[in-house]
Amino acid sequence: MAEPAVPAVVRPFETIGRRTIELVEALGRFGGFFGLALFSMVTPPFKTRAFIDRLHYIGYRSLLIIILTGAFTGMVLGLQVYLTLSRFGSEAFLGPAVALSLIRELGPVLAALMVTGRAGSALTAEIGIMRITEQIDALTVMALNPFRYLVTPSILAGIVTFPMMTALFDVVGIFGGYLVGVKLLGLSEGTYFGEMRTFVDFHDVMTGFWKSLSFGAIVTWVATYKGFYVGHGAEGVARATTQAVVLASVLILVWDYFLGSILP
């Protein structure tokens, strides 16, 4: 039996209600997806080969972009912070200013954003194409769980590689700041590193570590989710890839604020 027509005055409320239900369903599916991935991480069988492959895909292949962006971020920081500090006669604090900015904030966030653009989009596209070409269905009908091959290794690899890439970003960035501050602008090397040792402590490093670890989980969770539930055809894959990058980027920034406000 056909449903009765909705009066025009009620239609906006019906639309709001329907969209709210769709949003709640999507959030539930999104959360359940991560829960299933966590469950697969701690129960056998473990797909070690797939995990190693993802370490290479997400971590190793992102090294160049991490090094490039880390270096130039450090160099820009070195230049801008020096110019600012010199107004107050505080150039000596260039080292700790660059290091703290990178270790606590810019390193985790920028490294995560770079890898989102490079590896996150590629992950969504790869899994999305597997979905539309029935490769995921092929795994399912072979009585093999696609989660264990595609999702869990990716999320685990993200959790493992993001802190390492962030550390590399920080090191390269600090060196970039050194190149500009010491070699170009004339600050003494002893001052640059000496003040850094005074003001940067273990809590700062751990803040950066927890941020990068959680960003790794977020980026790979979003990327694999969007690929797994891609729409139809090439347009569906393109849309999913864009949505994955945008959503992951926004979540990084939002989560960065919350984490920064609760960590010491």
Q: Is 43 in the site for another protein (CB under 8 A)?
A: no
Decide whether 3 or 89 has the Cβ nearer to another protein.
3
Q: What does the alpha-carbon distance between residue 224 and residue 122 come to, in Å, rounded to a whole number?
A: 10
Q: Shortest gap between Cβ of 5 and another protein (angstroms)?
A: 15
Rounded to whole angstroms, what are the CA distances from 8 to 14, 15, 19, 21, 22?
A: 10, 11, 17, 20, 21
One residue of 133, 188, 198, 242 binding another protein per CB under 8 A: 133
Decide whether 14 or 137 has the Cβ nearer to another protein.
137
One residue of 20, 43, 90, 140 binding another protein per CB under 8 A: 140
What is the 3-state secondary structure of 32-92? Answer: HHHHHHHHHHHCCCCCHHHHHHHHHHHHHHHHHHHHHHHHHHHHHHHHHHHHHHHHCCCHH
DSSP three-state, residue 264: coil
Q: Is 5 in the site for another protein (CB under 8 A)?
A: no
One residue of 52, 144, 234, 246 binding another protein per CB under 8 A: 144
Q: Which stretch binds another protein (CB under 8 A): 138-146, 156-164, 185-193, 208-216?
A: 138-146
One residue of 34, 76, 135, 160 binding another protein per CB under 8 A: 135
Q: Is 189 in the site for another protein (CB under 8 A)?
A: no
> Residue 185 has what DSSP assignment?
T
And the tokens for 123? Answer: 């992950």
Interface with another protein (CB under 8 A): 129-130, 133-135, 137-138, 140-145
